[in-house]
């Protein structure tokens, strides 16, 4: 059985001091068995938090990195620079795709670069509201996924994490009430799309091993419903990861929720 993974994407929040202080509080909590927990602060806080987290169970991820190893790329950090600091790196987050215009091609290079550096890419895929309204979800997820992992071997694909993050369900970090949230059926359907594509291209065993997370207004009120889907192995909350009162209950829910197969309409 795949273990559970809860990763808090802090996005562009917290000063370095605040980030380090919050990471310290989280690192002091006992992590329940069967759950891996990580935080993903902005790049400036990574190095100090990495030092703080040594010898603790809390994992660290980066929000972004470029695919070239080094060179004249002002403002970027590279995957080799993250080596020894971050275990995970987000790639293809919808905010990177839509605000910073990252293409499927760039994302494919970043996924491959992360793997080359021994960092686990968390490949984020998801459709926009317009794509959903036009029933293009399956095609969009397939395109983003298949293109994102195209340069990897099957052994490498088995070790990555894929996060289904529908663009229309992502909060502004302050409120989950202003927009729709995906249903567990949406999450299960997406996980089925992800695994069936991987199965077709890399085999069933690889498809079974890949971890699939749900992200998009995940919070303690809906965490259990998502974690009950047997295709969903964890959560990638944004807004709800910014404080202990909303983040840690999701870790506890992950430890106690037993997944069951839910049937969804194709």
Start-to-end C-alpha separation, the chain = 25
CA-based max dimension of the chain: 50
61 binds ligand 13P (CB under 6 A): no
Backbone φ and ψ for 235, nearest 5 degrees, come out as -130, 155
DSSP H or E segment with residue 196: helix 184-202
**Cα 59 to Cα 65: distance, rounded to the nearest angstrom:** 17
144 binds ligand 13P (CB under 6 A): no
| Catalytic (active site) residue 93 | yes
In this structure, the chain runs to a length of 266
122 binds ligand 13P (CB under 6 A): no
DSSP-derived pairing of the beta strands 4-9 and 59-62: unpaired
Nearest residue to ligand 13P, using CB? Answer: 238
* 3-class secondary structure, 85: coil
220 binds ligand 13P (CB under 6 A): no
If you ran DSSP here, which 8-state letter would residue 4 be given?
E
Number of shown-chain residues binding ligand 13P (CB under 6 A): 15
Q: Contacting ligand 13P (CB under 6 A), which of 216, 229, 231, 250?
A: 216
184 binds ligand 13P (CB under 6 A): no
173 binds ligand 13P (CB under 6 A): yes
**Shortest reach from residue 170's CB to ligand 13P, in Å:** 4
| Catalytic (active site) residue 185 | no
Please identify every residue annotated as catalytic.
93, 165
Residues that bind ligand 13P (CB under 6 A): 9, 93, 165, 170-171, 173, 215-218, 236-240
């Amino acid at each position: 059985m795949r273990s559970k993974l809860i990763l808090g994407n802090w996005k562009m929040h917290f000063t370095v001091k605040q980030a380090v202080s919050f990471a310290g509080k989280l690192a002091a909590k006992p992590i329940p068995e069967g759950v891996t927990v990580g935080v993903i602060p902005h790049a400036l806080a990574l190095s100090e938090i990495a030092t703080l987290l040594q010898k603790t169970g809390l994992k660290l991820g980066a929000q972004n990195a470029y695919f070239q190893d080094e060179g004249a790329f002002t403002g970027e950090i590279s995957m080799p620079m993250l080596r020894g600091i971050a275990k995970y790196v987000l790639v293809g987050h919808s905010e990177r795709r839509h605000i910073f215009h990252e293409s499927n091609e760039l994302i494919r290079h970043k996924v491959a670069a992360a793997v080359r550096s021994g960092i686990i890419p968390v490949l984020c895929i998801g459709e926009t509201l317009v794509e959903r309204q036009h029933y293009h979800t399956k095609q969009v997820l397939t395109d983003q996924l298949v293109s994102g992992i195209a340069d990897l071997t099957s052994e490498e694909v088995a070790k990555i994490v894929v996060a289904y993050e529908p663009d229309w369900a992502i909060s502004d970090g302050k409120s989950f009430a202003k927009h729709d949230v995906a249903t567990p059926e949406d999450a299960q359907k997406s996980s089925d799309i992800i695994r069936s594509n991987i199965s077709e291209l890399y085999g069933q065993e690889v498809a079974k091993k890949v971890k699939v997370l749900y992200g998009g207004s995940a919070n303690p009120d809906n965490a259990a419903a998502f974690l009950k889907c047997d295709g969903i192995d964890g959560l990638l909350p944004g807004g709800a990861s910014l404080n202990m009162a909303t983040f840690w209950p999701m870790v506890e829910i992950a430890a106690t929720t037993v997944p069951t197969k839910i049937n969804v309409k194709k």
